[in-house]
Chains A and B, each alone.
Chain A
Amino acid sequence: MTAAAIEARGLGKDFGSIRALDHLDLEVREGEFFGFLGPNGAGKTTTVHLLATLLRPTRGAARVAGYDVVRDDLQTRRSIGLVFQETTLDRDLTVEENLRFAARLWNLPGRVAAPRIAELLGQFGLLERRRDRVRALSGGMRRALDIARGMLHEPRVLFLDEPTAGLDPRARRSLWELLQRLRAASGLTVFLTTHYVEEAEPCDRVAVLDRGRLAALGTPAELKRAAGVQSLEDVFLARTGHPLAEPSAA
Chain B
Amino acid sequence: MNIEGRDLAIGYPDRTVGRGLDVALSTGEVLALLGPNGSGKTTLLKTLLGLLRPKAGEVRLGDKPLSDYSIRERARVIAYVPQVHIGTFAFTVEAVVQMGRTAHGNLFSRPSARDRAVAQSALERFGIAALANRPYTMISGGERQLVLLARALAQEPKFIVLDEPTASLDFGNQGKVMNEIRDLAKSGHGVLFTTHDPNHALRAADRAYLLREGTRIADGPVAAVLNREQLEALYHTTVERLTDPDSRAVAFLPG
Chain B associates with chain A = no
